[in-house]
Structure 1
Amino acid sequence: MPHNDEPPVSLRIFGKQSRFLREQRGMTRRELAALVPYSESLIAMVERGERPPKPGYVDAVDAALDAGGVLRVLIPDVAEKHHPAWAEEYVNLQAQALALHSYSTHLLHGLLQTESYARAVFRSLRPSLEDEEIENSVQARLTTQNLLLRKPSCRMTFVLEELTLLRKIGGQAIWEEELRKLLKISQLHNVQLQIMPVSRETHAGLDGPLTLLETPAHHTIGYVEGQRGSYFLTDPDDVSVLSHRYGTIRSQAHDAEASRAFIQRLLTGEASA
């Protein structure tokens, strides 16, 4: 089940409608930008369906184009979501999961991130996000962390590449705060956290990160993220491969106790970072 980064239909329809109205009036994007408190580049992204327009934008453009409310009536359909369209389904499945098993290769799983670490991650994205988009994304990510303490508990295992702990995203203070959070999470009765050492000479996770979710109906679904989209894997053969691979990854990683000890040594400076 591939998920690409194509804009949602509602945003594409709104973009085409607003572009049609603008061109019908013989107006360029630059001329429209001079009439509204929004940049020419933002107008272009909205017209391509790449950026959800905020109600203030819709009101301003509707008035500037003398659209008579044609654009305003679409506000409920183009309201900004907390997550990208391709991620919304995964977030919903994760919130309901009976079990979650994740292998991370280049940054910490969103469920494990502090607010400051998450903000640093979103600030690192390119193309850059607007400040408001960053804050909305951070708060949405923190909301997903309710799963850690949900009742009934979700059974969780995380395998983190050692490099995800050595990379000081956001700087020294944010990194130390994140390590302390990992230690706290690792003590939860429903969570097991393991570190995959860089010294491994054989490694079952070379194909990249993966997540396995057990649904309320006791079906296991695989989930794999890429640069511009994601995949759900539901075919039993595919899920079986990922499950076997994840089991091997866990067996190759440090156990939970050794992993906590490693994080502690990073905090105290006894291990190099």
Structure 2
Amino acid sequence: MEDGTEHPPGGAAWDEDDTAAVVRTVGKLVKLCRERSGMTQAELGAAIGYSLEQVSSVERGRRVPKPEFLSKADEVLHADGLLTALQKDVAEARYPKKVRDLAKLEADAVELGAYSNHNMHGLLQTEEYARALYGMRWPAFSEEQIDQHVSARMARQEVIRRSQPPTLTFIQEEVTLRRPIGGSMVLRRQLEHLLEVGRLRHVSIQLMPTGREEHAGMAGEIRLIRLSDGTTLGHSEAQLSSRVISTPKDVHILEMRYGFLRAQALSPRESVSAIEKILGET
């Protein structure tokens, strides 16, 4: 997350030409500015706090530079804001395409609804909880890949804190609050974070008790995104794929199921008490 992400040939997390092109272009500009200033890669690295290998990887387009890398390099190389101006493009290139696409939809949303049944929803996760989740993926992610995915997940959460945020409703299966992802202390801090986010006026969090006999979510997770133009979309994520659901009939089914789920779950007030009780037991 703090560092750039390097990917070996054949194992690249960048599977989109546009992303790779951005990274290569930034690398070429860094190299051009460095050579124009008469500095070696080692000298630039020493001046901005990076190793020769890291600078070399950035220049070859194999590492996505941090914003700090660009701002420090801009200053040391007297690039007059050229490298700093690339920070936004590079920040977007750090994230997998499916995450960027989902973030764009969420950024245009006026209402978001989600039912999660196996772990905490991504918009509710703490950084250490998210890191623990990605750390248990198989095939195993490299540290760089974990950093990339965690960065993307944390960036998506900006939608919660923006000046005019959407209305957000979450239904969390009880087991997601009890499963000790990352260990008991990580879970405790995750539950505390859940209570903190739940106090925001535009956020509603409901708990679905395990003991419920009636349950409209047996077919799996549900995500609904209502856009500013009035359109409502569904979003489905499976083991190896994710897709947007736009067919009106299918979206209506998801909306109906989500409505039933909200009625079957504990109320937001009851959910706060339940979360506090689980926190006390953790």
Please, what TM-score do these two structures have when normalized by structure 1?
A: 0.72
Which residue does 2:222 correspond to in 1?
210
**Any idea what SS the aligned residue of 1:98 has?**
strand
Instruction: Measure how far apart 1:140 and its partner are.
Output: 2.0
Instruction: Measure how far apart 1:210 and its partner are.
Output: 1.2
Q: Residues 48, 121 of structure 1: CA spacing in aligned structure 2 closer, same or farther, 3 A cutoff?
A: closer
Structure 1 stretch displaced more, 169-178 or 135-144: 135-144
Which residue does 1:44 correspond to in 2?
10
CA-to-aligned-CA distance 1:101-149 (integer Å, 9 cap, x gap):
0000111111101111111111111111111221222122112111112
Equivalenced residues, count: 216
For residues 1-273 of structure 1, what are the structure 2 equivalents within 5 Å? Answer: 42-46=8-12, 56=57, 59=60, 81-269=93-281
Once residues 152 and 237 of structure 1 are traced to their aligned partners in structure 2, the CA distance between those partners, rounded to angstroms, is 30
Q: Residues 264, 43 of structure 1: CA spacing in aligned structure 2 closer, same or farther, 3 A cutoff?
A: same
Q: Residues 215, 124 of structure 1: CA spacing in aligned structure 2 closer, same or farther, 3 A cutoff?
A: same
Instruction: Measure how far apart 1:46 and its partner are.
Output: 4.6
Once residues 118 and 212 of structure 1 are traced to their aligned partners in structure 2, the CA distance between those partners, rounded to angstroms, is 22
List runs of 5+ in structure 1 lacking aligned partners. Answer: 1-37, 62-76
- What code does the residue aligned with 2:246 have? T
**Any idea what SS the aligned residue of 1:44 has?**
coil
- What code does the residue aligned with 2:216 have? A
Structure 1 stretch displaced more, 133-142 or 122-131: 133-142
Given that 2:216 and 2:261 are in contact with CA atoms closer than 8 Å, whether structure 1 keeps it comes out as yes
When the two chains are superposed, the root-mean-square deviation of aligned CA atoms in Å is: 2.8
Please, what TM-score do these two structures have when normalized by structure 2?
A: 0.69
- What code does the residue aligned with 2:163 have? K
Q: Residues 60, 141 of structure 1: CA spacing in aligned structure 2 closer, same or farther, 3 A cutoff?
A: closer
**Any idea what SS the aligned residue of 2:269 has?**
helix
Deviating beyond 4 angstroms after TM superposition, the runs of 4 or more aligned structure 1 residues are: 46-55, 77-80
Given that 1:210 and 1:225 are in contact with CA atoms closer than 8 Å, whether structure 2 keeps it comes out as no
List runs of 5+ in structure 2 lacking aligned partners. Answer: 1-5, 28-56, 63-88
Which residue does 1:18 correspond to in 2?
none
Once residues 16 and 227 of structure 2 are traced to their aligned partners in structure 1, the CA distance between those partners, rounded to angstroms, is 31
